[in-house]
Each structure stands twice: as C-alpha cells, then as structure tokens.
Amino acid sequence: MKYSLSSPTTSSLLFAGLAALFLTSPVLAQAARPLTAEQVACDADQLRAILARSALFFGPSYDDRTAMFLFTYGASSRDLSGLALLEQSNLQGEIVGPERQMTFAVTPGQPRLSRDPARTQLNPSYLLREPMGTDVSLIEDPAAMAVVVDPTMDPLHNDDSASVLVIDNIAASDGGVPSDSKPGRGLTGILQRCRNNFSAADVHVFEILSRVVRATIYTTAHPSAGAGRMHKLATIYRGEQAVAIPGGVRATYRMDFYPVTREKLRRVSVEIKIDLGGDGSLGNAAMRVLPACASADDPASSGCSSSPSAAVVSIIRPPAVDQVWKGPLPSVCWHGDAGCPAQIRFTFAERLQGTTWLRP
C-alpha cells in the first residue's frame, strides 16, 4: 500500500514514532546531586586532557585581543561543550570592541565501517560549531578564529595535519567550515573517561558561567593598570556539594583558569556556590578564590590555586550583541590588593536581569 505525507494513516504512524522517540529519550533531572571527590577529580582531569590536545587560532587580521578558550560539559553524558572567546579588551587592557564568541561541541560517534572493507572499524569524533551561540565572521575580520582538536592516539608526535579536527567561525559565503569529523580513538578514550551524570540544572549552570564569568590575568604578580594581560584556558565543572535548602538545592561549581605562558601552566581556581530552585532557576550565589596549593608544581592537585600571576575574576551582566559589558562588577582577586576581596556574594536575578537565561 502506498502512503503520502498527507495520508491520515501516515500522519498517525509519524506521530506514533515521534511519541516513542520522546518517551525513550533520557530525561535529566532538574536537581543537582552530590558528587564524590573522585568524581570531581575525574571531571577536572578530563577537561584538562581535552585542553591539552586543543588550540585556538586567530585570523590574519587579529587585533591583539585577549582570548579565553574554555571546555565544559554538554547535554549528553559524553559530549563536551566549548567556547572560543575573543574578549572586548586587548593585551594592554584597552577596550577595542564587543566580545566575539564561537560555541562548539565535541562528541564521539558510534564505530563505523570503513569504505575499505579490509580496514578495522572506525571510531569517529565530531567537532561541531553551534550556530546559535556563534558570531559569524569574514576571513578578513579581526574576529576570525579557528578551533583545532587532535583526536589521534599521540597528539605530541602527530605530524599529519589532515588527521586533526578543525572548525572556524567564518561565514559559508567566505568558505567557512562549521563541522568536521575524523577517526578519533585517542579522543574517544577521553570522552569515556568519567561517568558523567549531570542534571539539566548543572548543564544550564555550566553554560551560564561560560557567558558571565570573566577573568583578567596579569603578566605581573600584582594587579597594575600598566601591566599586560594574558590569554587563558579555562574549564567549568561540578564541585562535590549539593545540599538541600528551602525550595531547592545549593550546589557547588568550579572554574579553573590557566594563563597561557611559556612556562608550565598553573591555574587560578574559583568556587561558586549557587542556590537553585526546584525548576532549576539560579538564585543567590557566592564566589571565592580557592587557596594556594601545597605544591605549585603538582598538576594533579585540585581545589586550589597555583598561578604566580595576579588575577581578577568578575561576574558580568551579559550584553546584547555588538555591545560591550560594563561595571560595576562583583569581583574576587588572586594576589590582589587589600581592596579586592577573595570572596563575594551576588544574585543571578540581578546579573541576568533582562535576559531569558535565569532558568533552563
């Protein structure tokens, strides 16, 4: 029997299929759940591992802005979410224009058969630009940038440029590359390393923090108007605590910032405690800089800061497209002067006023 899309029978079958799809799709609970110290350490290590095989490249007209290259977690338990950010200030601290952002996802695929039947099955990895979170550019614009992720087994000794994943924020009319896929056994091992089981509220918080937390890291040991600024790598992940409060839960999140230098990467770590409502809405929050590590040379240590550089970490009010953000900003300092606190309180209702971002 032949059916068309206008056939009532076909429509019934179509909607039945969609209903089955939604009924069998995993649904993440809203509430954040406590994690163990081992889970937190695994997440921190997993995100450092993906940073170690990734890079952000600027276009030929790059205008000396500072940049942040960040990884956190996406909606799927195996997906990683990324943000490539050209900030509004340059390396000298001067405001040169609005932020330019490219959001993307790194995800593994199911093993696939090779076109050559004699080859083993392939484990593909995908690097995908997310269009709704990306400022599309032209190649000659200062905001042109590209993200590179190496999915091979030995990225330190990989000389094959054709084996890496590459996307950019270039418009299709200018030859942009919004997605890429390659065999990725090395990357698959990283993506499967931790048993991630984040709630919808967690994933929403990860995304919000990437959009509102900004770090200025100086080239000096103390903040100074004349000091240079540095690029930084960053990660966002859960902390251990998630305790019940009236009407919701108070959950802990962490951000690690790694100033990019010629020396060993050391970090500035902050902890953010957020009151989450039963619907996942963000309420009151507190942010503090985590104290100095017992050993600055131990990369496996967590829950502490080790960078010799001064840093100011702020919560901005996200501006509209093509606008710069302005103060005053709730901020904490690492190696700051006496006037800059190491801990602050703020409310997301105030920071996200006028946006649609307050809840998932």
pLDDT at 278 over 70: yes
Alpha-carbon span 249 to 115, nearest angstrom = 50
Query: Whose CA is closest to 188, among 126, 113, 272?
Result: 126
Confidence of residue 44 (pLDDT cuts 50, 70, 90): very high
**Helix intervals (H) in the chain:** 8-24, 37-52, 185-191, 200-212, 348-351
pLDDT given at position 296: 65
The pTM for the full model equals 0.90
CB-CB contact of 162 with 181 (8 Å): no
Say which residues have a Cβ less than 8 Å from residue 252's Cβ, sequence separation at least 6: 238, 239, 240, 241, 242, 271, 272, 273, 274
Question: Which tens digits make up the pLDDT trace of 124-151?
Answer: 899 999 999 999 999 999 999 999 999 9
∠ CA 215-355-201, rounded to 5°? 75
CB-CB contact of 65 with 95 (8 Å): no
Residue 209's φ and ψ, nearest 5 degrees, are -60, -35
Which H, E and C letters describe 131-173, residue by residue? HHHCCCECCCCCCCEEEEECCCCCHHHCCCHHHCEEEECECHH
Mean pLDDT of 234-244: 97
Burial profile 1-13: b = 16 or more Cβ within 10 angstroms, e = fewer: eeeeeeeeeeeee
CB-CB contact of 260 with 215 (8 Å): no
Helices and strands: H and E segment counts in the chain: 5, 16
Is the link from the previous residue into 328 a cis peptide, with omega within 30 of 0? yes
Question: Which tens digits make up the pLDDT trace of 160-216?
Answer: 999 999 999 999 999 999 999 998 888 888 988 898 889 999 999 999 999 999 999
Domain edges within the chain: 48-191, 197-351
- Chain CA centroid to CA 109, Å: 20
Q: Letter for the amino acid at 143?
A: A
Summary mean pLDDT of the chain: 89
Confidence of residue 330 (pLDDT cuts 50, 70, 90): very high
CB-CB contact of 115 with 139 (8 Å): no
Strand partners, 243: 250
Reduce the DSSP state of residue 42 to 3 states and report it: helix
Alpha-carbon span 49 to 52, nearest angstrom = 5
Say which residues have a Cβ less than 8 Å from residue 2's Cβ, sequence separation at least 6: none
